[in-house]
Amino acid sequence: MAIKVSYLLFLLIAKCFGKPSREDSFPATTTEPTPTEQFGNVWKLDVQGNYWLFWKTNATHVIFETHVKTKGYVGFGLSSNGKMFPSDVVIGWVDSNGTTHFKDCHTEGHYAPIIDASQDWFLLLGKEDNFGTVLKFTRKLDTCDDNDYLITESTVKVIYSYHPDDPASFSSLSWHGAERRGAKSLMLLSSVKANEYVPPSDAEQFDMLHHNFHVPAKETTYQCRVFKVPHKPQKYHMIRYEPIISPGNEDYVHHILVYNCPTATDADNGKVFDCYGHRPRHLDCSDVVIAWAVGGVAFDFPSNAGFSFMTPGDPQYLIMETHFNNPTLKSGIIDSSGIRITATHTIRQHDAGVLQAGAIVNKLQFVPPHEKDFLSRHSCSQQCLQKALVTQQNSMKAFATILHSHLLGTSIVAHHIRGDVELEPLAQDLSYDFNYQDTRVFPKEREIKYGDSLTIDCHYDSTGRTKPTLGGLSTAEEMCLAFIYYYPKTEISNCLSSPLYDQIGSNPYHNVDTMYSWNWQNQDVKNKFQDILNKTNVYHKCSSHTHPESTHDNLSFAVSTEYIPCSGTSNYIHSTS
């Protein structure tokens, strides 16, 4: 039976979703509270530092601990869709007698939350201390209750609220106020979220930063800068990288990629250029070393792997590519953002690498308009991975990934195929949030063997578009990529594909122009396109820094590439047998 709760309470759920404030990255204005035990994860949920979340997980359960600067009630919940409902919510407080009140609730519509018939969130501790109110509670990842949120590796929106006063009962909760509620996207089961980092005693840090770059008043800018890797007398490992975003520019720095550039020289050090405009021809480098995207935080390599410098074949020069997204065409933005690298001479067991898999970034990726759930599927071929792993005895251990698409993206799945059998997905996010593209660490390493293949599925909601959306560099265009961190490092850095739509003609770019002009409100046109997509031949790109190939749009498919014709969706992904 629904309990009566003040209408304004629901502003917690109705208004707290959406794009995180750019102030979310600002330093805490209060000291981090001390949890009741050691947790692997901690996050400051609000700008002021009034609401802190600690959590840890195992194979079956999660334990949360909230520290909130209030002596009143505390609200906490989980949601996947960013709307008022459905969401899984708990409310609790400690009264003047020291008694803790705590209920497991859910919402179904624009009305009061309902107390769950099955109380699956269990209170472990409730108290008030010098900081405020502490609530510690646990639940199963999967409670088998339709009213509870299923906790998976996908992104979840954590919602929160609090009030300065205790209510008399659950039926008399007062409005928390506009400034005492919010939301944060988190991956509860993947990477560790720590606000404080203490580097090893022998660690050295160096920064790759822009220097007062004047961001143009245009929607999309890709700015590149060349850096020489610090020279040391012996090998060292990068063990951590973190974004350094200029305060106030969090809304404009969309992503940062760092590439190995073996063709650069000392004369190029410090050179700045438009990455995809007036780029020096000899600096066309695509071997990814670091990938960071909007919403992401620092990434720590596992204890047995690091990215190697100062041995033969290691990067000597790096190119930092920064994508500035400025849809309002604001002028006067000055940016000095970049990446901070932490390195150590305490060499780890394995040299790590990054494999970029998914769609080649060009307009051959085609998303029709008016589609609620359009699937764009791209492959990392078996033949390419065989080149990377060389023999049946070789394999790579994947330990983390960044899944990346743009504004239309709703979910991304990295499928893992071995022979005719599809294994457990390498990674998936069924609640993809464009504004939260953090690195997800796998719960356990995944072995990719000689003969395996990968398929990257991106699902898009294009119901808000009246014309097709093509693949491209701007945020309004689309991408479908997985940056996979693994060890030991191989020669292959790019394993990508594009459909050719060759049932229409021999020139795939002309084919896209033809399809773009079709009437996409006509169901026959949609059916025709799906048939073309199912039967098209596919161009596969398999490259490394030792065998570079151009990533610009052109028809030189046979140059340093692998062309593998395939027809039908069965060649993209094998069904489980």
Active-site amino acid positions: 222, 404
Distances 112 to 87, 160, 172, 179 between C-alpha atoms, Å: 12, 16, 11, 21
- Give exposure, 4-13, as e/b (b: 16+ Cβ within 10 Å): ebeebbbbbb
Closest CA to 91 of 49, 40, 133: 133
Q: Which residues pair with 248 in a beta bridge?
A: none
Cβ contact 429:338 at 8 Å: no
Q: Which two tokens stand for residue 262?
A: 């073996």
Residue listed under structure tokens 């220097």? 211
Question: Using an 8 Å Cβ cutoff, are 366 and 468 in contact?
Answer: yes
Residue 247: both structure tokens together: 């305060």
Residues 300, 490: Cα–Cα separation, whole Å: 20
Distance (Å, whole) CA 418 – CA 190: 24
Structure tokens at 91: 């409310």
393 CB-contact burial (10 Å; exposed 0-12 / middle 13-18 / buried 19+): exposed
Cα 137 to chain center, whole Å? 27
Cα dist. 369→219, 460, 526, 570 in Å? Answer: 22, 10, 10, 25
Pairwise CA distance, residues 185 & 324, whole Å: 22
DSSP codes, 33-93:
PPPSS--SEEEE-STTS-EEEEEEE-SSEEEEEEEES-SS-EEEEEESSSSSSSEEEEEEE
Residues 236-270, buried b or exposed e (16+ Cβ, 10 A)? bbbbbbbbbbbeebbbbbbbbbbbbbeebeeebee
Question: How buried is 444 (Cβ within 10 angstroms: 0-12 exposed, 13-18 middle, 19+ buried)?
Answer: exposed
